[in-house]
Chains A and B, each alone.
Chain A
Amino acid sequence: MTRRTVDENSRKLRKLFVQLVSGALVGGVVGYFGMSQLDPKAMQVDQILTSGVGIIYLLTGAIVGLGLLSPKLGSKFLNVEDAEEISEQRRVLTGSTISMVALGLALIALANAGPDRAISPTMGFLAIVVALFVSVVVSFRDWRFYDEMMRGLSRDAGNIAFCIVGSVILLWGAAASIGMAVTPTPLMLVSLVSGGLLLAAFVAAGRAGLMMPR
């Protein structure tokens, strides 16, 4: 192993350490304060789940958005080679940020909507409709900027999401139908679909080696 390879590996390990520690810290702090603002003691389990998924979307979108605002800073915590790479991917990353933030806010709004709450049920539902519309429009726009690997990765994520969500719903529904499990509530299904999509995107990215420190 050459001196250059050793230095390069040390740099990647340092960066991975910074990413893990800062990710855990920011995630923990934002998750804790975010949930405490939503008053989890007054919430049902499915509301907490949906809010939690919403916070993950919001946080992920905010982290990417911060990287876009300051590419130099972003190159320290996003998995890119340097700040220039963030600028090269600006259009695609902007689309991802918009979609993630919109869906995150909508999930939190839906989970906290109710007749006697600050957000009415209709507004909660409308938030999801708007977020979905924004995501679809952004996806169509971004498709033109994707190269062949990103398009393949996107299809791969769709397939994985279908397998994850389909399998869980099939088994859960079957078990609930014979009384072996609790019946999934509408919010549990919303959490499952949105969380499954996010998980699938991470799995697809990992399979393409995009989670390896660079």
Chain B
Amino acid sequence: MENRLKEFRESAGWSQGELARRLGVSRQTINAVETDKYDPSLPLALRMAKLFACQVPDLFIDHWEAEVD
């Protein structure tokens, strides 16, 4: 899933290692999310949003549109 994690992280001035430490995950996980190879679980996405003081949809972009009846 497309996301803006790298943008948010760089704005905060954090390295991947620093963000990983704050979230309690490995650097590989941060790298995999930033390169769209891994979609985090809902709890991790919520923690990321809380850390950057934003909403989950600000971080993760879903292009799905509901069908209008």
Task: Knowing A84-B17, A208-B38 are in contact, say whether A147-B31 is a contact too (CB < 8 A).
Answer: no
Report how many residues on chain B are interfacial, defined by Cβ distance under 8 Å.
17
The stretch of B1-9, B19-27, B56-64 in contact with A is: B19-27
Residues of B with C-beta under 8 A to A208: 28, 32, 37-38
A210 & B27 in contact (Cβ 8 Å cutoff): no
A180 within 8 A of B: no
Residues A149 and B27 in contact in the complex (CB < 8 Å), given A207-B37, A208-B38, A212-B35: no
Q: Is B44 an interface residue (CB 8 A)?
A: yes
Binary interface encoding of chain A residues 184-214 relative to chain B, with 1 for a CB under 8 A from any of its CBs, else 0:
0000000000000000000000011110101
> Assuming A209-B32, A210-B28, is B17 touching A149 (CB within 8 A)?
no
**Contact between B29 and A209 (Cβ–Cβ < 8 Å)?**
no
Tell me which of B26, B27, B38, B41 contacts A209 (CB under 8 A).
Answer: B38
Q: Smallest CB-CB separation from B37: which chain A residue? A: A209
CB 8 Å contact bits of B12-51 with A (1 = contact, 0 = none): 0000110010001111110110010110110010000000
Number of interface residues of A (CB under 8 A): 17
Contact B24 A149 (CB under 8 A): no
Decide if B17 touches A148 in the complex (CB within 8 Å): no
Q: Is A8 an interface residue (CB 8 A)?
A: no
Number of CB contacts from chain A to chain B under 8 A: 47
Knowing A147-B24, A147-B25, A148-B25, the reply to whether A81 touches B17 (Cβ < 8 A) is yes
B34 to chain A, nearest CB (A): 10
Report if A149-B35 is in contact (Cβ < 8 Å); known contacts: A81-B16, A84-B17, A88-B27: no
B29 CB contacts on chain A under 8 angstroms: 147-150
Q: Complex formed: what's the CA distance from A152 to B38 in Å?
A: 10
List, sorted by A's number, 22 A–B pairs whose CB atoms are closer than 8 Å.
Answer: A81-B16, A81-B17, A85-B17, A88-B20, A88-B27, A147-B26, A148-B25, A148-B29, A148-B40, A148-B44, A149-B25, A149-B28, A149-B32, A149-B40, A150-B26, A150-B29, A152-B38, A207-B37, A209-B31, A209-B37, A210-B32, A214-B31
Known pairs A81-B16, A88-B27; list 18 more (Cβ under 8 Å): A80-B27, A81-B17, A81-B27, A85-B17, A85-B27, A147-B24, A147-B25, A149-B25, A149-B28, A149-B29, A207-B37, A208-B32, A208-B38, A209-B31, A209-B37, A209-B38, A210-B28, A212-B35
Q: Which residues of B contact A (CB under 8 A)?
A: 16-17, 20, 24-29, 31-32, 35, 37-38, 40-41, 44
Interface residues of A (CB under 8 A from B): 80-81, 84-85, 88-89, 147-150, 152, 207-210, 212, 214
